[in-house]
Amino acid sequence: MAQGDSNGSSKHHARRVPTIGKATILAIGKAFPSQIIPQECLVEGYIRDTKCEDAYVKEKLERLCKNTTVKTRYTVMSKEILEKYPELATEGTPTIRQKLEIANPAVVEMATKASLGCIKEWGRPAKDITHIVYVSSSEIRLPGGDLYLANELGLKNDVGRIMLYFLGCYGGVTGLRVAKDIAENNPGSRVLLTTSETTILGFRPPNKARPYDLVGAALFGDGAAAAIIGANPLNQESPFMELNYAVQQFLPETHNVIDGRLTEEGINFKLGRDLPQIIEANIEEFCKKIIAKTNIKDFNEFFWAVHPGGPAILNKLENTLNLSTDKLECSRKALMDYGNVSSNTIFYVMEYMRDYFKENGGEEWGLGLAFGPGITFEGILLRSL
């Protein structure tokens, strides 16, 4: 990210004034489970925990771990869980009930921690929250985690609740789009957007017939994020990003490229090898649709908050749009520090971007992007405040 640009930004720039009526991000928070895994320790631990004796699987996982660029990740899975549920490491065992016993409370616990941190930064009472948008692809139950979260936070019982389930990696940006619509159409509203994910539902022993399981083991992590969204900020609030314009688009006849199915063993994923190429072929047109709302044509005059689905996707995006190498720095750092944490990861990227802008200033306008099953593109025109 450049320290100065054609919009006149400079180090320690003056705060920009939010557009009247437009939704803004007023605070942000994150939370993680207590287990942290350095990438160099993952292979030995995974092979040991799943009792895998296949040298080919071990060698492939070692190669994948090096290629992901991930350095550390957090995980709900632990030695204690595997001791309590040894069947999780047994091939072909129906374990969906056990996995949900673990995942459902873990997801809400992380969401609660992230939300409490976010509300503390926001500086207003939790009872001032008027709506919840709750995003997860990691729990299944009725009532959903949105209700449990509202109870844990002590929110009013007439808080408006929306659940967005099983959207995958684009869920965080969908949540921003939905929260934006709520905030802009309900004067005075304050929306708590929470995302929370764990890889527990997909945990299983490695199998050559399921190569994507190894990609998941090498790339994905657990965690939660939260944001407070509202329009027309009050004096005691500190907006740092405006959600100016939002677009969702699916690519026809690509619904099988990312395929997730719930089975008796948990959730099974299949990922097409052509995913980076499909994104590469369609991303420029999608981005042009978003930036048409500004009078800026050069992609390098925007900042970029991109969900880091993996290094191949970031590399394709950078090359296709001819971005300078620093443009995706925050996305690459989030991937390195946390792995792909599905819907949460975009908020880790935005937090790194906020910290950078506080110190260095930066571009006024930017793009928030995420990709996932469908194939679905989610995009938001952002404005740094």
3 state SS for 86-135: HHHHCCCCCCHHHHHHHHHHHHHHHHHHHHHHHHHHHCCCHHHCCEEEEE
SS3 of residue 23 by DSSP:
strand
Give the pLDDT band of residue 1 (cuts 50, 70, 90).
low
Tokens coding 248: 């969702």
SS3 of residue 22 by DSSP:
coil
Give yes or no for residue 332 having a pLDDT over 90: yes
Tokens coding 373: 């099953």
Question: What CATH number does the domain located at 241-384 have?
Answer: 3.40.47.10
Predicted confidence (pLDDT) per residue in 239-287, tens digit: 999 999 999 999 999 999 999 999 999 998 888 888 889 999 999 999 9
Helix, strand, coil shares, percent, the chain, to 5: 40, 25, 35
Domain 23-231 classification at class level: alpha beta
What percent of the chain shows pLDDT beyond 90? 83
What is the mean pLDDT of the segment spanning 164-187? 97
Give yes or no for residue 78 having a pLDDT over 70: yes
Residues 81, 100 contacting (CB under 8 angstroms)? no
23-231 and 241-384, same CATH topology: yes
pLDDT for the residue numbered 31? 98
Catalytic residues: 169
Predicted confidence (pLDDT) per residue in 203-223, tens digit: 998 887 787 888 889 999 999
SS3 of residue 36 by DSSP:
strand
pTM for the whole structure: 0.94
| Domain segments of the chain as ranges | 23-231, 241-384
Give yes or no for residue 199 having a pLDDT over 80: yes
> Which candidate, 24, 51, 52, places its Cα nearest to that of 233?
24
Q: Work out the mean pLDDT of the chain and round it to a whole number.
A: 93
Tokens coding 152: 């844990």
